[in-house]
Structure 1
Amino acid sequence: MTNLILVHSDAYVDWVFSDSHPTQGRRFNNARERLLEFALTNGIEVLEVESDHFPERSQLERVHSTAYVAAVLDEGRSGEWSGERHELGHIAHRMVGGTILAADALVAGQALTAVHFPGAKHHAQRDHSSGFCVFADLAITAKYLLDGNSGVSRISIIDIDAHHGDGTEALLREDPRVQTMSVHDRTIFPGTGHADDTDREVFNEALPYGSGDSQLTVAVARFIGEAQRFAPDLLMLALGADGHDSDPLSTLTYSINGMVAAVGMIREAFPELPILIGGAGGYQPDDVTPEVWARMAIAACA
């Protein structure tokens, strides 16, 4: 067993809606490079897996409408860009496959931690894109595992991205086999996930303007307790870097050390549990975002 699975494709660099758009695909390549540097320094063995899997449409249609899947894959259309952009629809499809490959590696026992930086597209809805997210890869992968022969019967999802994981929550809310938890900036998009929005296995911590490491720690400690009660077979983490105090798209003031410590708390609480990581958001593609993503991934290693 290796320490960490890294699922990646150089094709992700072309995930660019426009030159001025906050989402820039080079952040994924930069994060890969930083992760490999940190792994070498820390003596962590990394097995790289090429993200070359394009799942059947039936897999996407576990959570998305047939018409929406066809619009993206056949027409190259999405609310995230203008006109027909078939190359972006193709990459969005590849990204779902990358998260599924990461899950497959965990189920096969190749590692206890797998990371796919383009994963955790947590705003995508059943019949439309939202918040730079086209397909809801975590929700699709959860259904894939739970409905298949993976041996996984319960999944907990912890989302520390600065934005509420509204799509993941909505698509999985009625599935008793899945627990969703999100800590986020309540002052920004999408404006959902209020603290009183708790239903069965849905939990939200909506933080006020300028919240920092201490608030993150309290929320993650609560989520750990809920997950321990739920007793999942696999844990998914949406580790957005946009809560960092220098990120332009949130008011949160997390430090890198605070975010790394929060992930370390989760791994310490679940030392033997497979953990699947998606990078979610982060909008400083050349420096802070890759650094935060890479360090959090290392912290999740058993």
Structure 2
Amino acid sequence: MHLHDVIIIGGGPCGLAMGIEAAKSGLDHLILEKGSVTESIRRYPKRMRFFSTAENIEIGGIPFPISGVKANRDEALQYYRKVAGYYHLNFELFVEVDRTERQEDGTFFVFTTDGRTFQAKNVVLATGYFDFPRMLDIPGEDLPHVSHYYDEPFKYSYTNVIIVGGSNSAVEAALELYRHDVNVTIVHKDDDFRKTVKYWLVPDVKNRVKEGKINTMFDSVVKAIEPDQVLVESTLTGEQQWLPANFVFLLVGYLPDEALLRRCGVELDTVTKIPTYDPETFETNVPGLYLCGTVMAGVRTEKVFIENGRDHAAAIADHLTGREVRKVPELIDRI
């Protein structure tokens, strides 16, 4: 069995950044990805535009040239694919990792769900969080017309759509659906949209609400979903009502793969689900096992993004090669 210097689990932007740093450091690397290259971005809404400006989501020192300021989904997919090719990154795609095991000699076995085993001196988990939506645990959440992912508007024209959530994904979906002749209602547990909503979307969505073109039910939660309706309850009065719904989008966020982290031996905070790791080197409680990118966020997924997650890769590569570890900027809120 070939012994790699480092196996990187996850082929998103931060996993690619880690592969690039490994390649630049002369480390024999392998990226294991359970989907395609940058699978999470491929699954984004087809007309999505990034919050960050293009230079803030660049990796590998390769400029991200676009005609505007903020890249869209297709531009990002093309960019990351080209950068991966430029650095000749080593992939095994459509391979899902089940767990890792550290051996007595300090090396790792990486076991996949299809029965294969890989071996490495070190492992980096860069699995992000987009694959694991926050569940509401309500009746009907698993019905076929319910989804935790929004794709595009054309399918839903002239239907009734309920969107649960009040952050970027919910607001962007609502605006796009409204503009494609969809009767949209946003249900959100708070008294207004999240403060982290992209600043250029706020006046748009609030004006559409004022005009009555997008319906809102704030201070409300969904209690049950049926094939053609949802039960909504006010958190202020307890009053309940049924709303017509041909489709339901539960856009309430996503979480890192807690089960995979635990199967790899990583300890998690019982409340925040944030893994145990060294904030300078990003090494976990398991020696030789590192975290890179949004996988380290726990429930605080608003704290780690591409633009600060990509910096983890350089620090990890420094630690793997014995160089002085570069300082990574502290996690900050995006406004």
Instruction: Give the TM-score normalised by the residue count of structure 2.
Output: 0.29
The structure with the greater share of residues assigned to strand is 2
Instruction: Give the TM-score normalised by the residue count of structure 1.
Output: 0.31
Structure with the greater alpha carbon radius of gyration: 2
